[in-house]
Structure 1
Amino acid sequence: MIETGSDGDVCVVTFDRPDRRNALTPTALDDLESAVESADAPVVLLRGAGSAFCAGADLDAVADLPDREAAEAFARHGQRVAATIADGESVVVAGVDGAARGGGVELALACDVRVATPGATFAESGAAIGLFGAWGGTHRLPEVVGLGEAMDIALSGRVLDADEALRSGLVSRVVDDPRAVADEIAGNDPAALCVVKERLRDGADRAIRERREAEAFADLHADFER
């Protein structure tokens, strides 16, 4: 269900279950986590095979969860995978082409950069079936688009096209080829990419962030060649 291939400074990780719109089972979540953790390239491109990016959790697997404990464990499982994407050393680019739904949106939110093709669409549609995305989306979505927009997206379940996603801040660019964005980022210094990601994601208070920023700059400067 997860295919991985390295090409220079970009590791391409593909949701590869096109007959189910790349919906994720627990096994696929494990495979995704392993693929991101083991990537030895400075940039990871996350993409989907076929006509969808990722439909989120496999609803058959969700329906088979036997009890509350199993349901909570499934949510924690997805949260852990999303955290692996967010906290890893590689810069992770979500290249959304086609439909991203539910958990697919949440995994994209965990990525460092999100870009969409003109045919991409996004929706948090869980409320329509009596659920909601619980792979970290309820805190990442408002962080990315703001609370008001997040409320609208998550409570309405409406589908955003690529231009709406761009206007909301859900994606940073609409491009024909997400790989080109991954290559652009990979053209920079790998050590600097890792440090900049870490610094931008630092959740400490300002004084601590600024101290860490200065220290990280000094560390990089030690290897700087004029």
Structure 2
Amino acid sequence: MIRVSDADAVRVVTLDRPDAANAVTPEGLGALADAVADAPVPVVLIRGAGDAFCAGADLSVVAEVAADGDPTPFVEAGQRALSRIADADAAVVAGVDGAARGGGVELALACDVRVATPDATFGEPGVTFGLFGAWGGTHRLPDTVGMADAMDLSLSGRVVDAGEARRMGLVSRVVDEPRAVADELAANDPSALRLLKERLRDDAPVDAQEAAEAEAFAALVAEHADALAEHRKG
């Protein structure tokens, strides 16, 4: 269900189950996480095949989990996979074109940059059939959009379009082609990308963050000492 291609400093990872709106199983999420975590390039673009980004968890798997009676392994597998995507060295772009629902929204939230095409829509419909997204969405969504919009989306189950998603900060841009955003990131220095991501995601106490920030900045200065010297001469 995953297709991977590498070109021009960008790895494109495509969810490839268009007949199922790219719904994912925990195993499929694991394969996706492997493709992101093992990327040999500085930027990864995640996108969906066909007319959807990702419909979320495969409901046939959810039904099997319900029959088994213990949903904990299912939840933990999804949480681990999305945490690996969030913690990957590469800068990860979610290119949402078409529907993102439930676990598909959670997948996008685990990415560093989320962009949407004008055809993108977002929804957390779990509440409408007695569930909710449990792959990290209950903390990532309010962290991203704020508590008011997170409560509204989650408790209503309503669907929002790309414009409203941009207004609430669920995506940072509405673009015609998400690959262009990935290419824009990939044009930058890979070491700076990696360290910036690490610093921006750091949730340590402020003193520790600032010490790590200074250390990371010093490392970049040392790495680019020759170029900086040439710039000073110029």
Under TM normalisation by the shorter chain, which class is it? over 0.9
Matches within 5 A, 1:107-122: 107-122=107-122
Aligned partner of 1:33 in structure 2 is 33
For 2:188 and 2:33, locate their aligned partners in 1 and report how far apart those are by CA, in whole Å: 25
RMSD: 0.8
Aligned partner of 1:67 in structure 2 is 68
Q: Does 1:6 align with 2:6?
A: yes
SS at match of 2:144: helix
String of CA shifts for 1:128-174, please: whole Å, max 9, x gaps. Answer: 11110000000000000001110000000110100000000000000
Matches within 5 A, 1:86-105: 86-105=86-105
Aligned partner of 1:158 in structure 2 is 158
Q: What's the CA shift for 1:34?
A: 1.4
Q: What's the CA shift for 1:27?
A: 2.5
* TM-score, structure 2 as length reference: 0.95
Gaps of 5+ in 1: none
Q: Does 1:177 align with 2:186?
A: no
Matches within 5 A, 1:182-193: 182-193=182-193
SS at match of 1:22: coil
> Which of the pair has more CA radius of gyration?
2
For 2:145 and 2:86, locate their aligned partners in 1 and report how far apart those are by CA, in whole Å: 17
String of CA shifts for 1:78-134, please: whole Å, max 9, x gaps. Answer: 111110111110000000000000000001000000000000000001011111000
The letter for the 1-side match of 2:75 is: A
For 2:131 and 2:68, locate their aligned partners in 1 and report how far apart those are by CA, in whole Å: 15
SS at match of 1:12: strand
Q: What's the CA shift for 1:30?
A: 2.0
SS at match of 1:109: helix
Task: State the identity as a percent.
Answer: 63
For 1:138 and 1:67, locate their aligned partners in 2 and report how far apart those are by CA, in whole Å: 24
Gaps of 5+ in 2: 229-234
For 2:76 and 2:196, locate their aligned partners in 1 and report how far apart those are by CA, in whole Å: 28
The letter for the 2-side match of 1:112 is: D
Runs of 4+ in 1 over 4 A off after TM superposition: none
Q: What's the CA shift for 1:33?
A: 1.6
Q: What's the CA shift for 1:56?
A: 0.5
For 2:122 and 2:214, locate their aligned partners in 1 and report how far apart those are by CA, in whole Å: 38
The letter for the 1-side match of 2:200 is: L
SS at match of 1:64: helix
* TM-score, structure 1 as length reference: 0.98
The letter for the 1-side match of 2:105 is: V
Aligned partner of 2:140 in structure 1 is 140
